[in-house]
Amino acid sequence: MANPIRIGLVGVGKIARDQHLPVIAASPDYSLVAVASRHGGLDGVPSYGSLEAMLAAHGDLDAVALCQPPQARFAAALAGIAAGRHVFLEKPPGATLAEVGLLVEAARTRGVSLFASWHSRCAPGVEPARRWLSGRRIRSVEMAWLEDVRHWHPGQDWIWDAGGMGVFDPGINALSIATHILPPFHLTGATLSVPENRQAPIAADLHFADAAGTPIRARFDWRQTGPQTWDIRVETDDGTLVLSQGGAILTIDGRDQPLPPEAEYRGLYDRFAALVRSGASDVDLNPLIHAADAFMRGERRTVEAFTDRPDTD
């Protein structure tokens, strides 16, 4: 068996603690060497206040996983690549398309692997859905990603800043699945609802079409209360396919399909290990392209101010 990949993790926030760290600890492909974070370290592991300090202290690192907000990821990824480390990027891979393009070229020149991860593509129902849809005529697609931002992102102001993507932070998960299971499509129109006290949208209504003119709609909204919704419904000439709970459940014509256990982040880290060992990269920009197109072409509509605390009046 190959030696474990010696990895450092940057950004010890909720997603790192909930997903990245447990998978790294459980995988024989990795050995966690150190972490870097501005907001506290990790017990039992050497911790540093910056990526640069971690790289300087650990010349034995093979790779870094970057879990900071997207606005900070470019500089960190470039530093990791320049130091000869393989780089794992949380989604979205960057705040702009151009910066990710520069990272791709830098990784190619330096001879290291770069991985733009899209965890929702590893949900249990996604690959079976892609196989079932292949070769079938699609008549329409409806995506609904409706959740309560106060529950999932309490106090995270960075998501409302320029480059933070707003409701596209979760919505891009729907786009990552759609670009994997559907034929190529393009944006035809969009409406972005932006709170008057924020810079990023709280809701988005997107319309797409493929080369055959198939209507594809996506609704993203962070104002959902009660049950949360992460569904993709595809009408075909052979029946109706529904991916629900973010791809965890797959039904065809109302019948549940057998699926493997959930292993989204395990799938990502298995893929990264394979890339590192083969010297390859995997950077699919299609989900980010659709999000960028929505910001470019979308009609901006101002809505009432948003506060992270519910109204108590």
Express each pLDDT in 103-134 by its tens digit: 999 999 999 999 999 999 999 999 999 999 99
Q: Could you tell me the two tokens for 37?
A: 């974070």
What's the pTM value of the predicted model, to 2 decimals? 0.95
For residue 14, indicate whether it is catalytic: no
Q: What angle do CA 170, 104, 35 make, to 5 degrees?
A: 65
The residues, ordered by sequence, that sit 6+ positions from 298 with a Cβ below 8 Å of its Cβ are: 189, 190, 191, 192, 204, 206
Q: Please identify which of the residues 20, 85, 91, 290 carries the catalytic annotation.
A: 91
Beta-bridge partner residues of 14: none
Give me the tens of pLDDT residue by residue for the chain, a chain 313 residues long. 589 999 999 999 889 999 999 999 999 999 999 999 987 788 899 999 999 999 999 999 999 999 999 999 999 999 999 999 999 999 999 999 999 999 999 999 999 999 999 999 999 999 999 999 999 999 999 999 999 999 998 888 999 998 899 999 999 999 999 999 999 999 999 999 999 999 999 999 999 999 999 999 999 999 999 999 999 999 999 999 999 999 999 999 999 999 999 999 999 999 999 999 999 999 999 999 999 999 999 999 999 999 986 544 3
- In 51-201, where do the E strands start and end? 63-66, 86-89, 114-116, 138-146, 185-195
187 φ, ψ to 5°?
-75, 135
